[in-house]
Amino acid sequence: MERYYQKEIECASPEEIRKIQDEKLVRQVRHVWDNVEYYRKKMEKKGLTPDDIRSRDDLHKLPFLSKADLRDCYPYGLLGVPLEKCVRIHSTSGTTGKRVVAFYTQHDLDLWSDCTARAIVAAGGTKGSVVHVAYGYGLFTGGAGLNDGSHKVGCLTVPISSGNTDRQIMFIKDLQATILCCTPSYAAYISEQMKEMGLGPDDIPLKAGIFGAEAWSEEMRHDIESTLGIKAYDIYGLTELSGPGVSFECSEQKGMHINEDHFIAEIIDPDTEEVLPDGEEGELVFTALDKEAFPLLRYRTRDICSLNRTKCSCGRTLIRMEKPKGRTDDMLIIRGVNVFPSQIETVLLNNGYSSNYQIIVGRVNNTDTLEVRVEMTPDMFTDNLGEIEGRQANLVDGLKSMLGIKAKVTLVAPKSITRSEGKAVRVIDNRKI
Ligand code: DLL
């Protein structure tokens, strides 16, 4: 039986959701206009005042915010409240340029934990469940976000953070954890390590996992579900909008329900910025409706996916977003062809390989090169060169039909690719160096 954390919202009619969004949007635009000079100037540039935004239908008039805006405003330029009302910050891992720092009031934290509580309940969490939170704690939002949602539901929360995988497995067993929260790549690592310790799915009490923070394919989901003996739920979010829980999956596992009472989602064409109809793929844009400290309107996430407004059989009416394919900035352009790492992952897993792979892009004589390095599983490991070459050729064909371009495939020994305890880094693009 499907359970809900806040049924009145999760199963509200589209009219009720619309009413909530209309009211909150008008209020939020006024809040931003009054308190965030940077955005007020952007609105003025477009000849807008808060009176121009009377409902959700006027959303398209508002200017976008991008990561570049956030960097311009670092650290305090987008604050919507006096600093003394803020009680927490989180920050993105930002490998290039300045990190994004997001601020939270107590009210913001409270609403955020409602969002993650909805995800935990949708994954089967109840008062008394033991929830093992192996997302990183600290500036990253994963640990704190799931931790606080788990508290709200009344679960026994194990704030173990990431790392020390043997100890993770021991705690899962000893404390009888039923829900595991971590990145999908770390879940895959935990299952691999379990196997090494001679443990199978029947030896651990887990029933569900709440996995997100990085793009992962359906094939990877099936792999994790069978090796850990659990149901794997996707969860999405980003620091700029609070963290995990912007959307979450239900037992149907057909897209993630967006917490529409807190966020309005739009899909735009990333080049023309035109709003696209439901079902079309494009860049996801979010407007946060009730965040006080870091109130972003029309924030361009750079994540590529589509929206689905059809009714879900779980009973929730919140619209769904498809699994993000990746970010516009993750997309590789190789010899003029768009390639998402997730497409490569699909081919590898469909051919019996694990998610331990690396994509190496280079440039030789002005031509892009693509190499996919993937580990053989212990079962396929061999030193028979003919066999290895046959396997490599198979993968070259599979990748060619998925991507339309030829890649070099190198099979490497099991365990030779570094494992990830957080977000996996799978692409090495040597062209940028
Ligand atoms: O990754 C928040 C989070 C923590 C989400 C734990 C889920 C679980 P950031 O570090 O700011 O925040 O990275 C946000 O990660 O724009 C997406 O590109 C990617 N991402 C997050 N969740 C998913 C997902 C956290 N379920 C960026 N599928 C986002 C695909 C995801 N990509």
In the predicted model, is pLDDT for residue 342 greater than 80?
yes
Structure-block tokens of residue 207: 């029933």
User: Are 341 and 259 in a shared domain?
Assistant: no
* DSSP at 96: S
Segment 360-377 mean pLDDT: 94
315-328 pLDDT tens trace: 999 999 999 988 87
pLDDT at 94: 64
114-142 pLDDT tens trace: 999 999 999 999 999 999 999 999 999 99
pLDDT at 120: 98
Count other Cβ atoms within 10 Å, centred on residue 196.
13
Q: Which of 430, 389, 384, 428 shows the shortest CA–CA distance to 411? A: 389
User: Are 4 and 39 in a shared domain?
Assistant: yes
- The label of the residue with tokens 């004589």 reads 365
39-67 pLDDT tens trace: 999 999 999 999 999 999 999 999 999 99
Instruction: Identify whether the C-beta of residue 122 lies closer than 8 Å to the C-beta of residue 100.
Output: no
> How far is C-alpha 75 from the geometric centre of its chain's CA atoms?
24
Fill in the amino acid letter for 29: V
Of the residues 328, 346, 363, which one is the last residue of a structural domain?
A: 328
Ligand 1 atom 12 nearest Cα: 238
Q: What is the mean pLDDT of the chain?
A: 95
Residues paired with 362 in a beta bridge = 369
Query: 317 in ligand 1 pocket by Cβ < 6 Å?
Result: no
Cα 283 to ligand 1 centre (Å): 14
User: Are 251 and 337 in a shared domain?
Assistant: no
Query: 327 in ligand 1 pocket by Cβ < 6 Å?
Result: yes
pLDDT at 331: 86
Fill in the amino acid letter for 298: R
User: Are 50 and 197 in a shared domain?
Assistant: yes
Q: Which of 139, 217, 136 shows the shortest CA–CA distance to 182? A: 136
Of the residues 261, 296, 328, which one is the last residue of a structural domain?
A: 328
Ligand 1 atom 14 nearest Cα: 238
Cα 100 to ligand 1 centre (Å): 14
Of the residues 328, 344, 364, which one is the last residue of a structural domain?
A: 328
User: Are 310 and 207 in a shared domain?
Assistant: yes
User: Are 74 and 197 in a shared domain?
Assistant: yes
* DSSP at 302: E
Pocket test for ligand 1, best of 238, 355, 426 (most atoms within 8 A of CB): 238
Instruction: Identify whether the C-beta of residue 81 lies closer than 8 Å to the C-beta of residue 36.
Output: no
Q: Which residues contact 162 (CB under 8 A, 6 or more apart)?
A: 134, 135, 136, 182, 186, 421, 422
153-211 pLDDT tens trace: 999 999 999 999 999 999 999 999 999 999 999 999 999 999 999 999 999 999 999 99
Write out the residue range of the structural domain in which residue 212 sits. 1-328
Q: How confident is the model at residue 99 (pLDDT cuts 50, 70, 90)?
A: confident
User: Are 213 and 107 in a shared domain?
Assistant: yes
User: Are 300 and 366 in a shared domain?
Assistant: no
222-269 pLDDT tens trace: 999 999 999 999 999 999 999 999 999 999 999 999 999 999 999 999
Count other Cβ atoms within 10 Å, centred on residue 241.
24
User: Are 51 and 84 in a shared domain?
Assistant: yes
User: Are 361 and 307 in a shared domain?
Assistant: no
Count other Cβ atoms within 10 Å, centred on residue 352.
11
Name the domain count of the chain: 2
User: Are 28 and 132 in a shared domain?
Assistant: yes
62: left (phi over 0), alpha (psi -120 to 50) or beta: beta
Instruction: Identify whether the C-beta of residue 157 lies closer than 8 Å to the C-beta of residue 175.
Output: no
Cα 233 to ligand 1 centre (Å): 14
Q: What is the CATH number of the domain that holds 337?
A: 3.30.300.30
Q: How confident is the model at residue 414 (pLDDT cuts 50, 70, 90)?
A: very high
Query: 422 in ligand 1 pocket by Cβ < 6 Å?
Result: no
Percentage of the chain surpassing pLDDT 70? 99
Q: What is the CATH number of the domain that holds 121?
A: 3.40.50.12780
pLDDT at 95: 56
Q: Which of 254, 245, 184 shows the shortest CA–CA distance to 214? A: 184
Query: 135 in ligand 1 pocket by Cβ < 6 Å?
Result: yes
The dihedrals phi and psi of 399, each to the nearest 5 degrees, come to -70, -35
Q: Which residues contact 279 (CB under 8 A, 6 or more apart)?
A: 306, 307, 308
User: Are 70 and 195 in a shared domain?
Assistant: yes
Query: 209 in ligand 1 pocket by Cβ < 6 Å?
Result: no
